[in-house]
Amino acid sequence: MRRLKGLFGGLFLALQLALGCGAASALTPEQAGRIAEGESDDRIVALNEVVAAGDPALVPFVQALLADEVKVAAGRAYIVKDGDTEKAVDAVTGQPAKLPDDAEDVINNNRMRGELESAMAALSLLAPDRAARAKAIAGLRDQVDEGKLALIEKALAVESDAELKAQLGLLRAAAMIASSDKDKRLEAAQLLAHSQAPATRSLLLERLAVEPDAEVKTMLQASLDRVQSRLIWGERLGVLFTGLSLGSILLLVALGLAITYGLMGVINMAHGELMMIGAYAAYMVQNLFRAWLPNAFDWYLLAAVPASFIVAALVGAVLERSVIRWLYGRPLETLLATWGISLILMQTVRSIFGAQNVPVENPGWLSGGIAVLPNLTLPYNRIAILVFAGLVLGGVALLIARTRLGLFVRGVTQNRPMAACMGVNTARVDTWAFALGAGIAGLAGCALSQVGNVGPDLGQSYIVDSFMVVVLGGVGQLAGTVVAGLGLGVLTKLFEGWSGAVLAKIMVLVLIVLFIQKRPSGLFALKGRSAES
């Protein structure tokens, strides 16, 4: 049936209308002419009249109007496929007809196109396929009016699916809310109180502004309050998820910085550019897959992750061996040197890839999202970054706590002279640790490529935030970096909802300054003898 439906959708719709709704009134040449030419208001009235009758002959006619395949002459409409005027057919009967020489193209403005699309959705309410009916209901939610009420009621009378029947009931209420009949408006207001759709709130607010009757106005306000009480939870959860998503990005960006800054005391202003390098590595892997492995393009990200880590780690190791190793114990000089390195890296990328942003596409499995609530959809790419941040954090924690390199890193961090006395090659540990931090920055860049633009200035947007996370969490403290990163993400999004993005940044910065004044060592301070050094 699905295959036949795809080939003969109009035939099935006609059958459904005929069997489910009784005999349909025929589309007349006069009606087709009124729909095809004239002022938009008159055309819309004529269109709604035929839609209300549920006339199956309207389906191919509306499809032709949307495809700009209709011409009109002397009040009569003709359908011309592929511009071949020799094969014109009558818009009503579908029979071959000679196209008059004075026939003119039908011009549809945006408003008329919206009404035609709405009419197609309304006629699909009686389609045999449940998915098609569900899609039609969703398409009508934001553009339903009283002119489609008759067809909605017909669909409601024959709908067998309980979920779709409930949605049609709310759709009917939305069509009745602007009725001239007070009783219908009261009934609609009561029904809409059960809706969970964000569009219902807008609909009730619009109607409240113009409703003349006090009784109906009271009912509308009561329904609006109930709808808002449901939607507020979706909005709160949306802010929380957005905050956690931002926090996971800050965590990824700051994680590498926490290692290098905590171990060597290097104020690495080029950390953002190492992240940028990771994003460009993902871009290059994407292009290689598109050129050489197009059938496996959806899996390019699995190769981009290690590539981003390796490229950024190699660049970090080169920087540490060539420049930074000579500046240990001189934080101001490391700040100036790494700032200069950041400018060099940005200009190098501009010279190779250009100053414009480059496109990095999401794989198919990261496109779309999960609709948790009617006003809350969780994008797959954001969910993936949350999971990815957790995996990177777990990997770093295991490396620091369970490996020989991790033991050396902890030893050098806590007491560098004693570690050197015990035979630890602190210079080699510094190189490995800096490369590790740079590689994690590359992973952050790879993740960011999936949610934002990739350009030479990518790192500049996150370098200040990453330092704030490290300082707030406690220098060299992994747990502090996690808490500070996620906390700052959620706090920033909460403040943005109240004051906007710029003021939110200022408020967060002020809070951090006040907190550091009271607790200079951050959320998690170093313990032991190293805390005194």
> What would the pLDDT profile of 312-369 be if each residue is shown by its tens digit?
999 999 999 999 989 888 888 999 999 999 999 999 999 999 999 999 999 989 988 9
Burial class of residue 168, CB neighbours in 10 A (0-12, 13-18, 19+): buried
- What's the token pair of residue 292? 């050489």
d(CA 498, CA 214) in angstroms, rounded, equals: 33
pLDDT interval class at 57 (50, 70, 90): low
Q: What is the DSSP letter of 93?
A: T
Q: At residue 21, does pLDDT exceed 50? A: no
- Ramachandran category for residue 420: left, alpha or beta (phi over 0 → left; psi -120 to 50 → alpha): alpha
In the prediction, which pLDDT does 26 show?
62
In the prediction, which pLDDT does 321 show?
93
The structure tokens 């170093």 sit at: 526
Q: Which residue, 485, 300, 303, is CA-closest to 386?
A: 485
The structure tokens 């992973």 sit at: 443
Question: Over the stretch 463-487, which tens digit does the pLDDT of each residue have?
Answer: 888 888 988 887 667 788 889 999 9
In the prediction, which pLDDT does 346 show?
95
Mean pLDDT for the stretch of residues 39-48: 87
50 or 19: which leads in pLDDT? 50
d(CA 485, CA 444) in angstroms, rounded, equals: 13
In the prediction, which pLDDT does 262 show?
67
CB atoms within 10 A of CB 412: 21
Question: Over the stretch 60-109, which tens digit does the pLDDT of each residue have?
Answer: 888 888 888 899 988 888 988 877 777 888 888 888 888 888 888 888 88
Q: Which of 45-54, 143-152, 190-199, 210-219 is least confident?
A: 143-152
- What's the token pair of residue 502? 């710029």
Mean pLDDT for the stretch of residues 499-509: 86
In the prediction, which pLDDT does 55 show?
66
d(CA 57, CA 79) in angstroms, rounded, equals: 13
Q: Which residue, 240, 312, 233, is CA-closest to 273?
A: 312
d(CA 118, CA 424) in angstroms, rounded, equals: 73
pLDDT interval class at 533 (50, 70, 90): very low
In the prediction, which pLDDT does 337 show?
94
Q: At residue 383, does pLDDT exceed 90? A: yes
Answer whether 254's CB lies under 8 Å from 469's CB.
yes
Q: At residue 58, does pLDDT exceed 90? A: no
In the prediction, which pLDDT does 525 show?
64
Q: Which of 136-145, 287-296, 323-332, 449-458 is least confident?
A: 136-145
Mean pLDDT for the stretch of residues 407-418: 83
Q: At residue 23, does pLDDT exceed 50? A: no
Distance of CA 203 to the CA centre of its chain: 24
Residue type, 519: R
Q: At residue 25, does pLDDT exceed 80? A: no
In the prediction, which pLDDT does 20 show?
36
Q: At residue 504, does pLDDT exceed 90? A: no
Burial class of residue 131, CB neighbours in 10 A (0-12, 13-18, 19+): exposed
| Mean pLDDT estimate for the chain | 84
pLDDT interval class at 434 (50, 70, 90): very high
- What's the token pair of residue 433? 């640790």
Distance from the first to the final alpha carbon of the chain:
78
Q: Which residue, 246, 273, 239, 238, is CA-closest to 385?
A: 246
